[in-house]
Amino acid sequence: MTVAITRKVSPRFNECEITHIERTPIDVHVANTQHEGYINALAKLGCQVIELDAEPNLPDSVFVEDTAFILPEVAVITRPGADSRKPEIDTIIPALSSHRPLVHVSEPATVDGGDVLVLGKNIYIGMSTRSNPEAVAQLNSALDNYGYKVHGVEMTDCLHLKTAVTRVNDNTLLINKNWVDPSYFPGFNLIEVDASEPFAANCLPIHDSIIYPTTFPQTQKHLESKGFKVVNVDLSELAKAEGAVTCCSLIVE
């Protein structure tokens, strides 16, 4: 059974952190409806969805991806880079503790889960405004016994590494080459985002399908032309908070 841990949208969602886009008003009611559609998509693809209660005082907390990342052996509890987001880990710890042993990132390291791309035994961490080199060093030490190698990745013009590149399957990545150098990922087949859709590199593979936003039809054509089955969701309101499809769940296989 694949478990998807999610969290309801905070009523203070309009107070979310914004880094690389212009702030525009968010309709929280619409955001809730879109989030429900996302949860329905996960369930239809066979996930057991665990939906945590909304955090009234944590505006960004719907983006549970940033609080942890999941490996077959352990779950790593992150230390988010924005101070307003650090308390989000408090309810993620009990939610994950029954699924995996936990490893904790500690000060002075900071890392958002959105900056973490796991590709086999290689873990790539985007050196963004939220994640720092101390996290790379700390995680190399903590995960070495499990055979993982952690790499820092330089990136530009976007919030997280997984804004610029995500895993489609074990052999294929979806990438915006203007925001991250593809030479970090040798040996992978690369599908480039359409030039008109720079934010289109974030997808969420679940079993034999890919959860993908409705807002990037040209890049979706590229994916489908390679034989990938796309399940669309509308997350346009959550995108106003720099959210995307990987951001709203923690997937435990």
Give catalytic residue positions: 160, 247
Angle at 250 between CA 32 and CA 63, to 5 degrees: 40
Q: What 3 state SS string does the chain have?
A: CEEEEEECCCCCHHHCCCCCCCCCCCCHHHHHHHHHHHHHHHHHCCEEEEEECCCCCCCCCCCHHHHEEECCCCEEECECCCHHHHHHHHHHHHHHHCCCCEEECCCCCCECHHHEEEECCEEEEECCCCCCHHHHHHHHHHHHHHCCEEEEECECCCCCHHHHEEEEECCEEEECCCCECHHHCCCCEEEECCCCCCCCCCCEEECCEEEEECCCHHHHHHHHHCCCEEEEECCHHHHCCCCCCCCCCEEEC
The C-alpha torsion from 207 through 209 and 211 to 213, rounded to 10°, is 170
* Rounded Cα gap, residues 163 and 144, in angstroms: 27
Tokens found for residue 193: 């985002």
